[in-house]
């Protein structure tokens, strides 16, 4: 399996957890196909090389003043990185491609996160091909291609229209259209515009999705973009061994806690690596979990809560629920948690990685999208694939408890689980030899090698 093919790939992830994970997974997959892998990364949110001993790591000095980088303005941060990284990235890539660089294996291709829109231009100047990794779903990218129409017709989004169906793309509702706060008005539209231009001029786009999940949209996207698309998901299912690219330490005590719980009884709660909650929201979640009377495993990430002392101030009812029935960790080995037989449902923000990981294990979802593509992902989970429910009615304790019981206790939950298991089987089949993602991976490898 590990016969080297004398080609080096340079992978350049956007420095956020939800982008680092799929890029490093892609590196592992392509390493197993014989490529040498170099991860080029920013100093900001740098991945830990010790978890990936087979990869080479090189950092570029992004010059980001972390104290000034607003983590609540993600579009602003992405835009800033797109400015700060250009010169150090070009310098580093040039050095790696020069004969003097001392790299034993020549560079065959660059694979960049598609939100780094400047990499295409640099690659063109240095005459290296730059494939793009898109870390969201294909459906969302398709929506971005019709962004001018949506902008014209639905923006600014008014409360009265939130429940309206998007006529150009049912069953999406206006509330699901990707949006994200930024201090600079219109910045999200500019980023989307850059993203589509970058992708259209690239030699190919890789996705962590699979044909059976997102057809016919993948076909429409192929037509609109006119570039080769490689849906190779669920990518983590190509890797036999697990290895973490977490920026936070995983608390493995939750696995032994899960071992003690009855099968399919636990609601796993995690809202990803970016979303933050107000104190009032956290309290409502805590009381909703307490009222649900079901076991729960809850990830409360440092930085996702305004007041780090919130647990000490929690009402006694919640603390009682923690006596054996609940477990809180700062960061979990999520893929392992979702694969655990005790987990019966996943309350998620529907970041694309979490959505795919849940689908791969056949775990029904309670959807609570926060921003960006998450509304689209959640709508597909609840209305298209019908493997979860939306937290309609808002973040309110009785409502939360009711939704959890719908999934874990009631007949409706069983039907949802049956559909989720059918989709899980499709996800497993597509990474097996001859499956759609397996073929897409073969095609990707040939595509990379044909660039010579
Ligand atoms: C952004 O999403 P997030 O990073 O907030 O969420 P995910 O896409 O679900 O990715 C989170 C990853 O972190 C892992 C989890 C996922 O691979 O398994 N993880 C973990 O290991 N332990 C934990 O306790 C919690 C999570 C963005 F906000 C979304 O809108 C995008 O869809 C996404 C991809 O572009 O990036």
Q: What is the CATH number of the domain that holds 398?
A: 3.40.50.2000
Task: Determine the angle formed by the axes of helices 17-32 and 436-449, rounding to 10 degrees.
Answer: 80
Judgement on whether residues 60 and 186 belong to the same structural domain of the protein: yes
**Is residue 260 over pLDDT 80?**
yes
Q: How far apart are CA 180 and CA 371, in angstroms?
A: 6
Res 403: pLDDT: 97
Question: What does the DSSP 8-state code read for residue 363?
Answer: -
Q: Is 316 within a domain? A: yes
Q: How far apart are CA 296 and CA 43, in angstroms?
A: 36
- Tell me how crowded residue 304 is: count the other CB atoms within 10 A of its CB: 17
Q: What is the ipTM of this complex?
A: 0.99
The residue to which tokens 């999520």 are assigned? 334
pLDDT in tens, 168-217: 999 999 999 998 777 777 898 999 999 999 999 999 999 999 999 999 99
**Is residue 431 over pLDDT 60?**
yes
Judgement on whether residues 296 and 151 belong to the same structural domain of the protein: no
Judgement on whether residues 261 and 394 belong to the same structural domain of the protein: yes
**Is residue 324 over pLDDT 90?**
no
Q: Is 241 within a domain? A: no
Question: What does the DSSP 8-state code read for residue 262?
Answer: P
Q: In the chain, how many domains are there?
A: 2
- Tell me how crowded residue 241 is: count the other CB atoms within 10 A of its CB: 5
Closest ligand 1 atom, residue 17 Cα:
4
Judgement on whether residues 358 and 441 belong to the same structural domain of the protein: no
Closest ligand 1 atom, residue 350 Cα:
9
**How far apart are the CA of 354 and the centre of ligand 1, in A?**
6
**Is residue 379 over pLDDT 80?**
yes
Percent of the chain with pLDDT over 70: 96
- The b-or-e profile of 74-102 (16+ CB within 10 A means b, else e) is bbbbbbbbbebbeebbbebbeebbeeeee
Q: How far apart are CA 115 and CA 202, in angstroms?
A: 12
Closest ligand 1 atom, residue 299 Cα:
24
Binned at pLDDT 50, 70 and 90, residue 378 comes out as very high
Q: How far apart are CA 30 and CA 11, in angstroms?
A: 11
pLDDT in tens, 273-301: 998 888 889 889 999 999 999 999 999 99
Q: Is 204 within a domain? A: yes
**How far apart are the CA of 16 and the centre of ligand 1, in A?**
9
Q: Is 360 in the pocket of ligand 1 (CB under 6 A)?
A: no
Beta bridge partners of 132: 112, 205
Cβ atoms of 33 and 109 within 8 Å: the answer is no
**How far apart are the CA of 348 and the centre of ligand 1, in A?**
10
Tokens of 28: 């592992």
pLDDT in tens, 41-95: 999 999 999 999 999 999 998 888 777 676 778 999 999 999 999 999 999 999 9
Question: What does the DSSP 8-state code read for residue 55?
Answer: S
Judgement on whether residues 375 and 437 belong to the same structural domain of the protein: no
Res 451: pLDDT: 63
Res 452: pLDDT: 54
Q: Which structural domain, as residue segments, surrounds residue 87? A: 8-233+431-449
**Is residue 101 over pLDDT 70?**
no
- Tell me how crowded residue 171 is: count the other CB atoms within 10 A of its CB: 12
Judgement on whether residues 128 and 176 belong to the same structural domain of the protein: yes
Q: Is 441 within a domain? A: yes
């Amino acid at each position: 399996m590990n016969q080297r093919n004398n080609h080096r790939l340079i992978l350049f992830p956007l420095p956020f957890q939800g982008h680092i994970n799929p890029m490093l997974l892609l590196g592992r997959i392509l390493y197993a196909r014989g490529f040498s892998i170099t991860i080029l990364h920013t100093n900001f949110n740098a991945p830990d090389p010790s978890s990936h001993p087979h990869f080479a790591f090189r950092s570029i000095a992004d010059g980001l003043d972390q104290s000034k980088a607003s983590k609540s303005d993600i579009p602003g941060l992405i835009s800033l990185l797109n400015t700060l990284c250009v010169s150090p990235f070009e310098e580093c890539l040039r050095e790696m491609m020069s004969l003097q660089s001392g790299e034993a294996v020549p560079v065959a291709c660059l694979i960049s996160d598609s939100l780094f829109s400047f990499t295409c231009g640099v690659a063109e100047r240095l005459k290296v091909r730059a494939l793009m990794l898109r870390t969201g779903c294909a459906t969302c990218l398709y929506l971005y291609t019709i962004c001018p129409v949506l902008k014209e017709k639905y923006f600014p989004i008014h409360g009265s229209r939130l429940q309206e169906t998007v006529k150009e793309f049912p069953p999406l509702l206006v509330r699901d259209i990707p949006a994200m706060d930024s201090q600079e008005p219109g910045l999200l539209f500019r980023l989307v515009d850059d993203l589509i231009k970058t992708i259209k001029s690239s030699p190919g786009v890789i996705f962590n999705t699979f044909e059976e999940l997102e057809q016919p949209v993948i076909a429409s996207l192929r037509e609109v973009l006119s570039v080769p698309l490689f849906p190779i998901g669920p990518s983590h299912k190509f890797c036999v061994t697990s290895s973490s690219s977490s920026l936070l330490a995983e608390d493995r005590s939750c696995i032994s806690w899960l071992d003690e719980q009855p099968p399919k009884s636990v609601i796993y709660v995690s809202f990803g690596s970016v979303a933050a909650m107000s104190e009032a929201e956290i309290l409502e979640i805590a009381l909703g979990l307490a009222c649900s009377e079901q076991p729960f495993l809850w990830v409360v990430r440092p930085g996702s809560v305004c007041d780090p002392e919130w647990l000490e101030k929690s009402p006694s009812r919640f603390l009682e629920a923690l006596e054996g029935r609940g477990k809180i960790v700062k960061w979990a080995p999520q893929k392992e948690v979702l694969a655990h037989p005790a987990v019966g449902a996943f309350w998620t923000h529907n970041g694309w990685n979490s959505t795919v990981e849940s689908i791969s294990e056949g775990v029904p979802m309670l959807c609570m999208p926060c921003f960006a593509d998450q509304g689209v992902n959640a709508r597909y989970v609840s209305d298209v694939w019908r493997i979860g429910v939306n937290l309609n009615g808002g973040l309110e304790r009785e409502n939360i408890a009711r939704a959890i019981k719908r999934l874990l206790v009631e007949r409706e939950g069983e039907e949802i689980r049956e559909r989720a298991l059918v989709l899980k089987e499709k996800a497993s089949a597509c990474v097996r030899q001859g499956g759609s993602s397996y073929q897409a991976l073969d095609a990707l490898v040939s595509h990379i090698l044909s660039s010579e």
